Amino acid sequence: MRVLMYYNNKDVRVEEMPVPKIGPGELLVKVYASGICGSDVMEWYRIKKAPRVLGHEITGEIVEVGEGVRNYKKGDRVFVSHHVPCNKCYYCLKGSHTACETLHKTNYDPGGFAEYIRIPQINVDRGVYVLPEGMSYEEGTFIEPLACVVRGQRLARLKPGQTVLVIGSGMSGFIHIKLARSLGAGRIIAADITEYRLKAAERFADAVINAKDNVQKRLLELNENRLADVVIVCAGSLKASTEALKCIDKGGTALFFAVPEPETMVPVAMNDMWRNEITLMTSYGAGPLDLEIAINLMKNKRIVLNDMITHRLSFDECQLGFHLVADAKDSIKVIFEPHKKVSSKQ
């Protein structure tokens, strides 16, 4: 089978690997759609384990069922979660599933950018979801990123009527905007530094801010001289993090959905945070509850995400796909279709 082998952001190759053999309790899934996540192009993070097959936003069809599997059958259309928790450790029992060591160690084989993947028994037990009737494979690639956003906004306790500022108008930023809208947020403002994404943000947000300008000043102008109740950071730069700290209203919350590189320190004026009772928080990944909520939101059309897809590519265009996402200027959602021979741009 063909896979995409990642060496670095500028070196992604189509290579051959054997189709994985499954054992008892496992599944073999033929991958029909696999989205590129922003984390897939975080080179400082990914290059440590290169070469490897990346990809975790997948949907496909079960083509082989291992002995003992009872809940799934050949032909089922599925989304598969790559990371799954143990559901019994201290962190899982208190609801912090994404802090579970098992979640951080689990994955499918060899990775989502492959024509076929083996689903280990633990993932079959708690990470396989049959796609709702009428949900396409490409739409299903949004389940995992939406679930991550669901978790972030759930932890941030976003409330109806609140003003939300989203810094970083990529795929995650737009999903945050769409979910905040569905939850009844008041004014939603998007910020970014690229013209393409600012233009795209006009379709989803109530107003946009060019982050090259004074973001705090523009926010006050757009929001009746008030800062934002919730600031969501979806850009992994120091500037995005420091700008966010300037834009939180009294009693407000900053959700760091994306963060700078590990060695980067973000200066925080703690006295200001304390005096204004500001909450700073982070969110990583998605747990089982978040995935269930995401699937139901999409199934019931409470949130529609297909309009974010800008590119549907074959494996032969792997380098283009990684360039588009890493460059972050001319795309929003890029999907690989492993069995596709030609590509098209929406």
* Per-residue pLDDT tens over the stretch 238-272: 999 999 999 999 999 999 999 999 999 999 999 99
d(CA 169, CA 1): 35
Q: Give residue 81's pLDDT.
A: 98
Residue 345's beta-bridge partner residues?
Answer: 311
Q: What confidence category does residue 73 fall into, taking pLDDT thresholds of 50, 70 and 90?
A: very high
* Per-residue pLDDT tens over the stretch 82-100: 999 999 999 999 999 999 9
Q: What confidence category does residue 301 fall into, taking pLDDT thresholds of 50, 70 and 90?
A: very high
d(CA 319, CA 299): 33
Token pair 């080179």 in the structure block, residue: 43
pTM, entire model: 0.95
Over residues 310-323, the mean pLDDT reads: 96
DSSP string, 202-260: TTTSSEEEETTS-HHHHHHHHTTT--EEEEEE-S-SHHHHHHHHHSEEEEEEEEESS--
Whether residue 345 is predicted with pLDDT greater than 60 in this model: the reply is: no
Q: What confidence category does residue 141 fall into, taking pLDDT thresholds of 50, 70 and 90?
A: very high
Q: What confidence category does residue 333 fall into, taking pLDDT thresholds of 50, 70 and 90?
A: very high
Q: What is the enclosing helix (H) or strand (E) of 77?
A: strand 77-80
Q: Give residue 342's pLDDT.
A: 62
Whether residue 343 is predicted with pLDDT greater than 50 in this model: the reply is: no
Do residues 201 and 167 make contact, with C-beta atoms less than 8 angstroms apart? no
149-282 CATH, one of 3.40.190.10, 3.30.470.10, 3.30.930.10, 3.40.50.720: 3.40.50.720
DSSP string, 256-280: ESS---TT------HHHHHHTT-EE
Percentage helix, strand, coil, to 5, in the chain? 35, 25, 40
Do residues 279 and 250 make contact, with C-beta atoms less than 8 angstroms apart? no
* Per-residue pLDDT tens over the stretch 1-17: 999 999 999 999 999 99
Q: Give residue 340's pLDDT.
A: 86
Tell me the pLDDT of the chain averaged across its residues.
96
Q: Would the CA dihedral through 177, 178, 184, 187 be positive or negative?
A: positive
CATH H-level, domain 2-142+305-345: superfamily: Medium-chain alcohol dehydrogenases, catalytic domain (3.90.180.10)
d(CA 161, CA 227): 14
Q: Give residue 44's pLDDT.
A: 85
* Per-residue pLDDT tens over the stretch 264-300: 999 999 999 999 999 999 999 999 999 999 999 999 9
pLDDT above 70: percentage of residues in the chain: 99
- Of the two residues 328 and 292, the one the predictor is more confident about is 292
φ, ψ (nearest 5 deg) of residue 144: -65, -50
Domain spans of the chain, in order of start: 2-142+305-345, 149-282
* Per-residue pLDDT tens over the stretch 115-137: 999 999 999 999 999 999 999 99
Whether residue 64 is predicted with pLDDT greater than 70 in this model: the reply is: yes
